[in-house]
């Protein structure tokens, strides 16, 4: 096992002007489970492939432990990779698939069998060792791919969206198995996904990327409670955070009847480029239903209610005076506000509810740069 360090690592594909990964600085502790997350094209898979040696590093360096592996061949990096597609040999049994890399390396047959059986026991695959991959379910095939990585006993596991080919229920089950397996083995793991729910539930820490640039690194709680900028705020959380641009008047962020007091220290951080506006973020669960006309309350017209049993979410639009001036967005799209409501008493479609942001649960960002102010 070992640490992993990206030191200003950059990847620029031929014929492009913007790096796919731009000056990535990231340190992953020994035994840590780090999740690289971001939208498609953000550079997360490229970052993983640079660590694996499958992509060239055009600038900076990558270290595994104290060893500079920037120009080291993939086979000599002591890593094991699990891909999105299982990449199993269809003509080989499960046991032969899991032990193939060891066979190529010249490991004695007894040692191969021992390691394969140990991995199969961990992954609950013992009864399937003599089967071919076509006789297995998708989840079982992914566990075989995991087993192939485990038997190599590498310093670092690399996983590139290994659950994206599974159905929803199996994804939940398998992500739990992978997370508990990593804790048990204690192997440093870098895991790539576009699914922020996976990131929040699996990672010791999360690194969020956008357009090849690292946006924020921290624990799932850090990401949820103190997003560094508007992008992270809107990306992390399900449903996503509501984000609205408000004008500042007399120390308050105000649109129509919505009136939120701002900390003087936050206002002091504004620049002329902000044009006396801030972006206010508030999660669906940070909105309380209240009476019409209550201080700081604003009306939301209900478009649809999503009932989930233990939870219910209203998707609606801001109404009332000056509502057209508000620049609002959420996970439901532009102009939409999401409110978590009591699942036992949900409003009807077309109704108007009054909500206010719970004190201390708003996130304030610069309207010019998107960076966090609060």
What parts of the chain have a pLDDT lower than 50? none
Looking at residue 321, its pLDDT comes to 63
Looking at residue 323, its pLDDT comes to 61
Looking at residue 208, its pLDDT comes to 97
Task: Give the C-alpha separation, 148 to 122, whole Å.
Answer: 12
DSSP 243-285: EEEEEEETTEEEETTEEEE--HHHHHT--GGGTTEEEEEE-GG
Looking at residue 256, its pLDDT comes to 62
User: What's the chain's average pLDDT?
Assistant: 90
Query: In order of start, what are the domains of the chain with their CATH numbers?
Result: 4-234 (3.40.50.300), 239-366 (2.40.50.140)
For residue 361, give the nearest of 348, 374, 344 by alpha carbon. Answer: 374
Global pTM reads 0.89
Other CB atoms within a 10 A radius of the CB of residue 236 amount to 24
Looking at residue 326, its pLDDT comes to 64
3-state per-residue secondary structure call for 57-82 = CCEEEEEECCEECCCCCHHHCCEEEE
Looking at residue 123, its pLDDT comes to 87
Looking at residue 190, its pLDDT comes to 97
Q: For residue 239, say if its preceding peptide bond is cis, omega within 30 degrees of 0.
A: yes
Looking at residue 371, its pLDDT comes to 94
Q: First vs last Cα of the chain: how many Å apart?
A: 39
């Amino acid at each position: 096992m070992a640490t992993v360090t990206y030191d200003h690592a950059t990847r620029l594909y031929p014929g492009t002007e913007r790096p796919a990964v731009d000056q990535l600085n990231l340190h992953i502790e020994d035994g840590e489970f780090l999740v690289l997350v971001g939208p498609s094209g953000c550079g997360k898979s490229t970052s993983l492939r640079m660590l694996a040696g499958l992509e060239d590093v055009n600038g900076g360096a990558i270290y595994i432990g104290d060893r500079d592996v920037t120009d080291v061949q993939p086979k000599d990096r002591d890593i094991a990779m699990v891909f999105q597609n299982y990449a199993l040999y269809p003509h080989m049994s499960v046991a032969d698939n899991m032990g193939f890399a060891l066979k190529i390396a010249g490991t004695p047959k007894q040692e191969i069998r021992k390691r394969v059986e140990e991995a199969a026991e961990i992954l609950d695959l013992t009864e399937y060792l003599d089967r071919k991959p076509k006789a297995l379910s998708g989840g079982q095939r992914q566990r075989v791919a995991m087993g192939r990585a485990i038997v190599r006993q590498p310093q670092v596991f690399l996983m590139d969206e290994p659950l994206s080919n599974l159905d929803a229920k199996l994804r939940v089950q398998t992500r739990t198995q992978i997370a508990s397996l990593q804790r048990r083995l204690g192997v440093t793991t870098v895991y790539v996904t576009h699914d922020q729910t996976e990131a929040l539930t699996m990672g010791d820490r999360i690194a969020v990327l956008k357009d090849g640039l690292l946006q924020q690194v921290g624990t799932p709680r850090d990401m949820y409670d103190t997003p560094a900028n508007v992008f992270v705020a809107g990306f992390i959380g399900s449903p996503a955070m509501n984000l609205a641009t408000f004008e500042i008047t007399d120390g308050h962020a105000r649109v129509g009847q919505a009136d939120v007091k701002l900390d003087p220290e936050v206002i002091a951080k504004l620049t002329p480029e902000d044009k006396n506006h801030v972006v206010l973020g508030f999660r669906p669960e940070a909105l309380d239903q209240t009476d019409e006309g209550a201080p700081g309350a604003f009306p939301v017209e209900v478009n649809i209610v999503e009932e989930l049993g233990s939870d219910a979410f209203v998707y609606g639009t801001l109404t009332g005076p000056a509502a057209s001036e508000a620049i609002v967005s959420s996970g439901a799209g532009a102009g939409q506000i999401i409110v978590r409501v009591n699942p036992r008493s949900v409003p009807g479609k077309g109704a108007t509810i009054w909500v206010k942001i719970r004190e201390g649960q708003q996130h304030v960002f610069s309207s010019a740069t998107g960076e966090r102010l609060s």
